[in-house]
Structure 1
Amino acid sequence: MAKDLTQQPVGVALIGAGMIAQTHVTALSGAQDRAQLRAVVSRTPERARPLADHYDGAAPDFTSDLAAVAADPLIQMAIVATPPSVRTEVIRALAASGTHILLEKPVGRTPTEALEVVEICEQAGVALGVVFQHRVRAPSVAAARHVASGALGKLGVVEIAVPIWRDQSYYDELGRGTYARDGGGVMLTNAIHSIDLALSLTGPVASVQAMTATSPLHRMEAEDFAVAGLRFPCGAVGSFIASTAMFPHRTEVIRLHFENASLRLDKDALEVSWRDGRSVVEGRVEAIGDDRPLSGGRHEWHQAIIEDFVDAIRAGRKPMVTGREALVSHRLIAAIETSSRTGRPVEMA
């Protein structure tokens, strides 16, 4: 049974103090009307204490005692930002205590593990949301509005491109890019955001034919390059390419070609090119704030996800992206891996 939510604001624990933790702490600082950061759980609490400098509120407790945090009735929600390899048991402990969970991607290292996480939360009666912050960017919201309107007509071609760069030092840290820690490489760790956003606009994929590889530019276990041909149930076809070996680092781009117009979507703007010659730019984002490649983007995007999650658990509705909805992206990644390994197309359920 979930914890009581009459307390305002909702008490929050941040589980994990790694690369993305600062973004969450800054986001929580801006969401204090809804959520109060009460605890940060880290294996090395003293090393995590500088995070308090990014929180404009009463300093949280820093601890390694997950059980105590889970049992605290004043902490009704946890943001889980640990490596995937240690996530299932963390979520099991939190869910058993009735703590709602907002989870950094991926849900699990494999679709089976991800489904287990989802079912743990469902059986415990706690909400499970996933941080897919690309959905809340202004260009993404504008794109979703156009797709929902029906004015674009039938979808014909989809392009998903994630051409990014990560230095070798990125993979030398804490075993990143290994199957044991992360579950995979560029797809599960990096491109999953663009995959989720694209599928939220197109619907799920019907079949995949793919190739993945580790390029000579990185020393790592999992893939740093993936390419796939996609077929959709509506008859549309598409392409997907993602790599962390493409220098210099560029922005991810999604292009959707419909009967009546084509959309070009990235983090900065949505370009709509109508077949009648009109061309408009919507949702343009000014180049301000923290948008470094490794930072997770602007903290405002995470803040919007956090605020939606708090509002969802208070109202008893679904958060923006549920754990079960996130399984669609996990299954597509697994299908790409299977197709690459077998050399054959994979039909999706």
Structure 2
Amino acid sequence: MFLKASLAATVAFATACVSPGDNAADHAGEIEQDLRSAALPQPGPGLPPGTVVVPLPDFDKQPTTLRIPNESGFLHAKQLGHGSEAIVIINGGPGLDSVFVTRLHQGMARRLPGRRIVSYDQRGMGGSSPTTAAQNTITGAVEDVEAIRRFLGVRKIHLVGQSFGGFVAGAYASTHPRNIASIAFIDPLPPLPADSPFTTQGFDAINAYYDGLLDAGILEEGSPDDPPAVAWNQIVGVYFADPLRVPIEITTPAADRNPVVGDAVDADYQSNGAALVANLDRVRIPVLVIGGGVSGFGPTFAQGAAEALKSSHPKVVIIQGAGHLPWIDKPAQTFGALASFFDDCARGH
């Protein structure tokens, strides 16, 4: 399984770079010719012929690194954009860092100027400080959002919750209702008890999908200690509409998932998550629910999020042809829906 998964991931990456029917040698030749014929900046006075002038990056568009104090030490976060409003992206997992949502973060910053767009590595992950076993809790994940709000100095915060981050966003709204401005869910784990029908049906859909792949011999059972197998099993069909076009920044964190942190937070969610979302029916805020039309979780996760916040009359957008990460499969539709929603929030609609 190790070799098969590694080969599959390699083939997928290579296939994504060359369209079906392309001749690889011709394609490489075209790239070389393009490079030779490209108009490069000319060297200034005093520089020898042949000097290549490389423009500096646009530093105004580089993320600002934030170090945010929290219970376990600090959270490593990145901010794009400036403004009085702050939108915080909570990525999926648990046990994954924010590399997973890099393209989402960048795309939102482009489409939503005049706002601070922040993503962060959840506690114990990425550049955030290590955690003790007692700190790997779902309550801690929720309270980290409050730590971010205080650090950013905003009275109310806008949240984007993707997958597991959707539950965290909903739990934050339930436990800090006066501090939440709006929530945009993206194919979320619904902010409902773990044994709710919406939640269990979503996971049943995943299990049935994988069972079908195993029965057909497309996948084989992998060892939990086999990172490429873990990465491949997580992304095929569940995350993407087209498994042959998997961005490298997605496969890497999938393989690097921290099971110590992730499994502990998941177990605490199973046991104690229900109490954190008990007051959602009292919340009245703008809510957007984006679902992937071909997500491996099926439509029930999006429906569950809408049900959990039905008192807020959420807007539900199902993006056809998109999987669990719709900003990868259908970026125009995803960023269009997000921009429209947050622009409406700014206008008070």
Same fold, judged at TM 0.5 (above): no
Higher helix share: 2
What TM-score do you get using the length of structure 2 for normalisation? 0.34
Q: TM-score, normalised by structure 1?
A: 0.34
